[in-house]
Structure 1
Amino acid sequence: MSNVKKRPEVLAPAGTLEKLKVAVDYGADAVFVGGQAYGLRSRAGNFSMEEMLEGINYAHERGAKVYVAANMVTHEGNEDGAGAWFRELRDMGLDAVIVSDPALIEICATEAPGLEIHLSTQASATNVETFHFWKEYGLTRVVLAREVSMEELAEIRRRTDIEIEAFVHGAMCISYSGRCTLSNHMSDRDANRGGCSQSCRWKYDLYDMPFGQERKSIQGEIPEEFSMSAVDMSMIDHIPDMVENGVDSLKIEGRMKSIHYVSTVANCYKAAVDAYMESPEKFEAIKQDLIDEMWKVAQRELATGFYYGTPSENEQLFGARRKIPQYKFVGEVVAFNKDNMTATIRQRNVIMEGDRVEFYGPGFRHFECFIEDLHDAKGNKIDRAPNPMELLTITVPQEVKAGDMIRACKEGLINLYQKDGTSKTVRA
């Protein structure tokens, strides 16, 4: 292998065409989307073929790639029509499909030759021999199982030359590589065919059940009902390990997340990769800023998954939250008038005169100000705008650009764990 440090691809989720454009604008080198068949996110805003073509063209015009997740486990008959579907994607210029089921891999390889195939994390690739098997079958990339350690990743990279895609941010599944039937039993929705109801994230009670006596809930005797849910993954402060161990693509989970989430996380990982490729010192200088930025968007608590050891009880969701984001997404810039320093914004949440807000945009641009001279679309002066998607104008102290996002800095309550295991509430 070459000792030249290779820049990894930042791969962002795109549940809708709008999110695809936001991800690309905010620095993603590639996006992964779902079509209206063969995927594992039936409730995401999956792309029609017309939207797929528009998204592919939008990304390609800006130097980015598009991959389609076709990672369901097929039952008999589910594969009907897959050959024609793969051919249509290939012919519109799609860069690759992400597949786990051998039946769909076989259909794609034989009926849509020329379309690259990436092995989905659902296939649980955890060792060198698995990589060799799929390379011989013609696959060009393998998405690592999320249960692989950093040491194992390094060994796989040392002994293979197929591309490695590894998750760096987003939700973790409580089951191995997402292969779970809990949703099937709890809600009659097949998790492996796109219908997961995330039963592991429900709250579950505990009962005292003495022999021969009526069961008794112990709710109230514990601070919160238990779930079976892991905290989210974040590797933003470990980008050097991912780069030095030869990961080709840094994958961000979250096709069902908001444009606020997609823009923030893509922006952060793009800045992190750019900084480290420039120099380790540059990355260290902005690392804390990147970590802080992540906490401006709604998410669960964060850990590093399996990369540095098997997760413990501290990487599970129960009890009082240790950290809560203190920002709320309120709008996006539609236009900017430099002559009078006014911005036209599309509201996404309640905005009030005097709110302290932060504007941010691609390239990790930020500044804070207060909402001043708030007017509605008709030019009327208002002090509160409660209606989502309304067009408003405000005065800003410096230039903004169309596509920039706006967060409001909201005070709130944060639950903090104490050393003795109890919690207390403080005002942010």
Structure 2
Amino acid sequence: MKKLITTIRNIFSIDDLRVRILNTLLLLVVFRLGSYIVLPGIDPNRLEGASDGILGLLDTFLGGAFSNASIFGLGIMPYISASIVLQLLTVAVPQFQKMQKEGESGRRKINQYTRWLTIIITIFQSTAYLSATIPAEAILIDRAFFTFSATVILTAGTIFCMWLGEKITDKGIGNGISMLIMIGIISRFPGAIISEGLARGLNGGLLFLLELIVLFFVVMGVVMLTQAVRQIPVQYAKQVVGNKVYGGQRQYIPLKLNAAGVMPIIFAQSLMFLPALTAGLWANWSADSELASEVGATFSDYTTWQYNVLFGILIIVFTFFYTAISINPKQIADDMKRNGGFVPGVKPGEDTSNFISTILDRITLPGSVFLAIVAILPALASVAGVTREFSQFYGGTSLLIMVGVILDTLQQIESYLRMKQYDGMMRSNRLRGRSRNIAVAS
């Protein structure tokens, strides 16, 4: 406890870090306040809550802003969609590949395209959002005028959220976009704990304590999944330049066990509505409507074993897919060869590329299986009797995002603390006395 208090004191003793933390907290408060401002022309008492599936997942990411029909109803999600589209284009389209290799100017162009694509996606998503989730009886003004004005407001709200995320990245601590998603998820955690505790009551206090213990070990497992790496040793040849010798050092290429992060779960979750949709169309076109209705009901319930088996398979497939487009073993091998590096015992070039690919496949398979297990844990918790709100924190996208963002933020804070220790060494008496001796000798 004393060490924790000392660490907190050291954090706030650094001026730059203290200002960044305060800026982050202020911008997050602004984001949360906007989540409770309802769109003009809506009676909030007549709104329906978000349903299960992808809509419920969006509402979890946005901290209730989606079901509240707030001015931040779509939040940062259109920007996430645009970023994913641009990332896929940099793999499939040569023009975007060339743009990515242009350095800072290329990144600025890609960011500009991402912003414009965000506006386009937000306009389409806001129109669908207004027509599909807001009941007609909740609208107090003319429907056409409401749709136009609400679309403009939702688009402006998404752009403002994007600006908040960029400001957090520049003036605050952590990745701004990820912080906005994380704060939306965490905002629902206290209410989920309270509702679970009330549901258990006094007689279920021991069971509630057991649930918290299980949640603790699940979080530790997700931390291990996020932090686990396989290090590939790389030896650099010595080079003599003038009178100095460069190189000769051994470094490591860290390959993460879960290189794809949370993206496979998001991709798989976005496709899980297709079986129910296909079953609904089948019921309309086929004479065997009873079977189609049964299939639709099965894949509309996220707690059925059929749903979770398909969900897990999709996650494993998308993990391999996203890892393949994120890590290019051939490019890594070419960069190593160009810089005079080699893996001990492996020939540079194609053999190194095949060696890295083999290791990547071996660590991706258990990583993808573990990721699939984490993704279906909320369904298992719900079947075990945990309330739906609290079960969402037993795994899935919510827990992975929270753990990833918190670890990334803590690493940035730790880097500031290390810089402070380095400055303290530069101001130490030993170095100051050494500088005095040098001045006397001169």
Largest Rg, 1 or 2: 2
Q: Which range, TM-score by smaller chain?
A: under 0.3
More strand by share: 1
> Larger % of helix: which?
2
Q: TM-score, normalised by structure 2?
A: 0.25
* Greater RCO structure (CA 8 Å; 6+ sep): 2
